[in-house]
Amino acid sequence: MAMPHILLFSVFVVAACGLAYELVAAALSSYLIGDSVTQFSTVIGVYLFAMGVGSWLSRHVHRDLAGTFIRVELAVGLIGGFSAAMLFWAFVWISGPFLLLLYLLVFLIGTMVGLEIPLVMRLLEPKLQFKELVSQVLSVDYLGALAVSLLFPLWLAPKLGMVRTALLFGLLNAGVALWTLWLFRQELPRPRLLWAQGSLVVALLTAGFIGADKLSSLAETALYEDSIVLSESTPYQRIVMTRWKDDWRLFLNNNLQFSSRDEYRYHEALVHPGLASLPWARRVLVLGGGDGMAVREILKYPHIEQITLVELDPAMPRLFREHPALRKLNGDALNSPRVRIHTTDAFGWLAQSRESFDFVVVDFPDPSNYAVGKLYTNTFYRLLERNLNARGRAVIQTTSPLFARLSFWTVVNTVESVGLLSQPYHAQVPSFGEWGYVLVGREAYTPPSQLPAGLRYLSPASLPGLFHFPPDMARLPSEVNRLNNQILVRTFEQEWKQVLR
């Protein structure tokens, strides 16, 4: 392969590596901090600005272009390769300055990436005409970015994880440095020193890649109070299960989803006030709830003939159908012959579905980002209303009316805006505090006089108290959460930030 073609292939690789570090930083910060729109926007902005700084600095490189390019590749490979591990450990051990370190790291990597393309173009300048040089370099640069943007969500993040993905691209940067060193070995003043530096960087990155699981598990062990029994990265989230004695806890993107010691309170309150009031119900839809806990409660009604579960992340129902301890937690509910499972986006599924249901359980994560926030909009609730039987009812988990009071009543107001009657209520779940729900339907709600046998939290006598709101949780005026503004996400973030200060 001729030298120009090798250098053009180098452009493809360095473009892929540069975008990979950007995606890793943005995705990891959104995993750890939340608010994916803000994290991706700010990381991309800082990164692009830094690339401009790097391109401007390249004008000051007058000598030893090849040697400078090689050293930049080794530096960006080493720093970018270990960037995910550094950010993960920084979040665990120095959480206060985490954002400062994040943006400093992004700026440093972006500056070095900004140096790469101008240096390669100057190396190619004697070998190509200017118009061919610009068109070919930029074309290959964009192709490299396209390749990694497709691979990152489909294979790299779910299969390798953030730490190992960054290290893989660090090795690719080091590889570019070494083959550039070989190409220009006759022209470089001190090639042996560069070979030694390159070999050291490759050795460090290789060791990191091999030990990536240990690096991640050590950081996660420090992040979580209890022992980690399983962890998995998917295209949608980071799933971690911890255990302390008989307490199993599920975390999604570092956010607690349930504790086995009190999850029965949450799920009994989620299902039974609504479903027990519909003795004629036969068909139930569960949106979210891939852990099967809500399905477990629904199966306590013998008259329910079919339960349809729609869960975005296939890993969730797979884990809770196969893992012995998790099957025990949900009573092996997901393996019931009455349960059908669809692994797809609930918004799209509802839009295409022509089925109607007697009872719907909406058990999504809290609206901490815009991807989830769309499932709390009036557009989504119109789809929900369309798939609800005339006498049917739905229940929506609706965050805390105490800690996120305005967010709670925003959801209630949004549901009412599509013409459904609402009946808000709340329950005390020790792991979360006061937690809110809202029952919706076309008919007025009357609490049931009977509940399934064997419940540990609810009783017919305790039900009316769930629907009473004291002054500190009473209704607030709120706007409708619409798909084109998603005010709920911003409200939710502001309220919980105040709680966590």
Q: Which of 110, 86, 273 is nearest to 166 (CA)?
A: 86
**363 assigned to active site:** yes
Phi, psi of 224 (to 5 degrees): -105, 145
Tell me the C-alpha distance between 406 and 402, whole Å.
9
- Contact, 71 vs 132, CB < 8 A? no
Residue 245 gets the label, from left (phi > 0), alpha (psi -120 to 50) or beta, of left
The CA-CA-CA angle for residues 176, 106, 204, to 5°, reads: 45
From 35, 291, 358, 363, the catalytic residue? 363
Neighbouring residues of 322: CB distance < 8 A, sequence distance ≥ 6: none
Q: Output the DSSP codes for 260-276.
A: TTTHHHHHHHHHHHHHT
The beta-carbon contacts of 239-242 under 8 Å, at least 24 apart in sequence, are 239/313, 239/315, 239/316, 239/319, 241/326
Q: How many CB atoms lie within 10 A of CB 244?
A: 13
| Bridging pattern class, strands 339-343 and 388-397 | unpaired
Query: Of the candidates 111, 132, 466, which has an alpha carbon nearest to the alpha carbon of residue 271?
Result: 466
DSSP string, 303-347: T--EEEEEES-THHHHHHHH-HHHHHHTTTGGG-TTEEEEES-HH
Q: What share of the chain is helix, strand, coil (3-state, %, to 5)?
A: 60, 15, 25
- Tell me the catalytic residues: 363
